[in-house]
Amino acid sequence: MQYISTRGGIEPVGFSDAVMMGLARDGGLLLPECIPDVSDRLAAWAALDYPDLAFELMRLFVDLPDKDLKQLVQTSYAGFRSTEVTPVVQVGNVHVLELWHGPTLAFKDVALQFLGNLFEHILKDREQDLNILAATSGDTGSAAIYGVRGRDRIRIFVMHPKGRVSPIQEHQMTSVTDDNVHNLAVEGTFDDCQEIMKTLFADLDFKDTYELGSVNSINWARVLAQVVYYFYGAFRVMERTGAERVRFAVPTGNFGDIFAGTIAARMGLPIGRLILATNENNILARCFCEGDYSLGEVHATLSPSMDIQVASNFERYLYYRLGESPETVRILMKTFATTGRLALPFSDGESIDGLIVAGVGDTEATLQTIREFHEEHDYLLDPHSAVGVSVGRRFMDESEPMICLATAHPAKFPAAIEQATGNDLAHHEVIEALADIPTRSDVVAAEADTIRAYMVSRIGKKPDAVDDEPETVATDESELSEGEPQGVAPEQNDEGSE
């Protein structure tokens, strides 16, 4: 399988090269040249356990020997707290796909445990080093850190928006003080962090010289690993109910998780609808309901991992939606970079897409859903999962069971749970164990040059580093600032946090 850019500016590359490249060198996102149809394999795959299903699906997309891939998959999921990896439980009239049984209690573990092992395998084979630059709105950071902490040949630099992630999410990241882990509290929003990351990846001299890699969902391997649990969840529910098709409700901010669902549908998984659920940061819901993809102000909510306006994976969706035309994608992304808005045509008068429908689960709906599920079913939903359930139940169909993706354990958001239920109910031993662990992070300005200087200071000046004007590619990001990089202030915190 070869991989191409959504913007058409690179020659096709193999899977391992695509993983190491992260963001395509022309500023686009990487996708496989074709999506295999597995309709004739569904019956056989339905009988597989999670690791075997992951192996059979992934081997269609990767260029690794089967024995190596099988070992990577088995190792990646051996430490999950459920033998099913992503079990499905019925709660009332919905089926909850629990994606939070990994080491950091978030769905990102499903992909990032695999990606960490994959990176290590490729780097060892190629005798290379890797410096990962990541942006997180909460869960990606800790999951990525836990996936690569202490590994040889890898450093990780994680940017999170200062004061805009939950205290527990922040503590999970900053309590990891391995020498190869660097946490940066950026004085801005997640969108600022994401823009900085894309800007530095667009500086090809810097990217090549300092061996940059990505664990964000711009990396195709992240999406690929997430496709698996759509198949697994659908198989479990169809077996239990006898249904021939299912629906998925997906809380999303960056469009990565639900994009994995669109790939599953393209592969032949019988999905009737994908229900896209956002919080008050509703750029994606407005897009699919009104055809209006335009920037707005970022609002702080009870579901901070979804407090996003610029959804990086949306470009992959556009590529398919617009007939796989890289020229059209380039034009639209340039327009969006200039105006902050895209106007897309309707297809049926209700949605711009025949598969995806969308809605908003605001704070009131989130709290009400958490409260209702606790009182009626003795089941706790974290606020992100509650957004998905709230919106998903508006699109129920008796013939197509609703599978709601539960993206985090409620113990990661105890304040929201207490606000909804009136009681301190959300606990987990993994979270409790963090209470007295010292933390370490550095507060930095939301500027690309600042982050660049920070990384160089930790990696060390490379002999072949270019000091003059950096080579860049045409992307949607603003030009790098011309001034001197600002300093960074270390923030040492030996106190426990919630």
**Active-site amino acid positions:** 108
Q: Are 452 and 206 in contact (CB under 8 A)?
A: yes
267, two tokens: 């592969």
Residue 100's closest CA among 176, 169, 183, 22? Answer: 169
CB atoms within 10 A of CB 375: 11
Helix axes 256-266 and 314-321, enclosed angle (nearest 10):
30
Cα–Cα distance between 390 and 360 in angstroms, integer? 8
Number of alpha carbons in the 13 Å side-chain half-sphere of residue 332: 22
- Beta-strand relationship, 271-278 and 246-251: parallel
Name the strands in the sheet holding 88-91, side by side, starting at the edge strand that comes first in the sequence. Answer: 88-91, 94-98, 402-406, 246-251, 271-278, 356-360
- Bridge partners (DSSP) of residue 404 are 96, 249
- The Cα-based distances of 340 to 43, 343, 360, 394, 473 in angstroms read 45, 10, 21, 30, 20
Q: Dihedral sign for Cα 229, 234, 239, 240, please.
A: positive
Closest CA to 288 of 265, 264, 267, 318: 318
Within its chain, how far is the Cα of 124 from the centroid?
25
Residue 402, φ and ψ in degrees, nearest 5: -95, 120
CB–CB of 372/364 below 8 Å?
Answer: no
Strands (DSSP E) found in 410-470: 439-445
CA 180 – CA 421 distance, rounded (Å): 40
Distances (CA, A) of 269 to 55, 60, 143, 228, 340: 17, 15, 27, 11, 34
Parallel/antiparallel/unpaired status of strands 341-343 and 292-294: antiparallel
Helix runs in 24-65, H state only: 42-45, 50-58
Write the burial class of residue 487 (CB in 10 Å: 0-12 exposed, 13-18 middle, 19+ buried). exposed
